[in-house]
Amino acid sequence: MTSRSSRDRDRGGGGSDRRGPARRRADARWSDGRVAVQTRFALAEVIPEPGRPWRRLLRLDGEDCSHVDLRDATRIEFAYVRRFADVVDLLAPSGAAIDALHLGGGGFTLPRYVAATRPGSRSEVAELDRDLVALAQAELGLQTGRELRVRAYDAREVLERRASVSADLVVLDAFLGTLVPRHLRTAEFLAEAARVLHPTGVFVANMIDAPPPLAARALVAGVLGAFPHAALIATRKVLRGRQGGNLVVVASPTPLPLADLRRRALAGPVPELVVGGAELATWAGNARPEHDQPDT
């Protein structure tokens, strides 16, 4: 399904328009008009920024979902996507190609980032909403091909079809409303994610939860059972259960670069904390992983 985010963004850019006449003429090809499409699953709107139509917001049923910059695929607006990008940056030597599986497409911000920063990478994206894929191709700079393939199937089905030890990165950013679908957060799902990863690969997931963060704790409990190494990234208030927001889970068969993740997370406009090891187990408390229903 489609991915959703909170309205928490990394605020950047702005300032005067110093582009030359040729660049301004080239930018004229980007319409500044809002586009709305009723898909099978949601009302999808693409909203260009006033005066900068190459920067676009994807909104689903009134919720801000994704932000893309058509001129610069490396520009990340949402804080949680920046945390995903941090993992991409630290996953392998700079510029080295990777194999990535994205469960949830939304505005396809992260697949475009992978393509821009790691040329030659291969990304497979599971996005169930065919109309949203078409909208992303028409309005959000999505270009599919050998290096970026989109599967219009359920994310769990795409994951289960994937060969073992075939991915450097598995990204879960799939939502129904503001909830990750149940079949994408169970112990059985996480075991499948672990199965497809290379020994040095990384699993990352985005959740939106409200106090008390029971769903996030259950997911973390499942991750701790499926991976030897895990961490959780969120603002201090979200981690302490004082407000709702995004929580990013990072897990791997091998030790994570926690120091680098912490440095990057603290450097954002809204500093975030990275919790790992015994502290993460304490945060999860007595939560238990969810499991597939007998008929799934």
pLDDT tens sequence across 104-154: 999 999 999 999 999 999 999 999 999 999 999 999 999 999 999 999 999
Cβ–Cβ < 8 Å for 58, 46: yes
User: What is the rounded CA–CA span in Å between residue 2 and residue 33?
Assistant: 23
Query: The pTM is what?
Result: 0.90
3-state secondary structure of 226: helix
Is a pLDDT exceeding 60 seen at residue 89? yes
The mean pLDDT of 206-210, rounded to a whole number, is 96
User: What is the rounded CA–CA span in Å between residue 234 and residue 89?
Assistant: 19
User: What is the rounded CA–CA span in Å between residue 104 and residue 152?
Assistant: 10
Interacting residues of 211 by C-beta distance below 8 A, sequence separation 6+: 241, 242, 243, 244
pLDDT tens sequence across 240-249: 999 999 999 9
pLDDT tens sequence across 59-69: 999 999 999 99
Domains of the chain and any CATH numbers = 74-284 (3.40.50.150)
> Could you give phi then psi for residue 55, rounded to 5 degrees?
-105, 120
Q: Residue 295's pLDDT is what?
A: 58
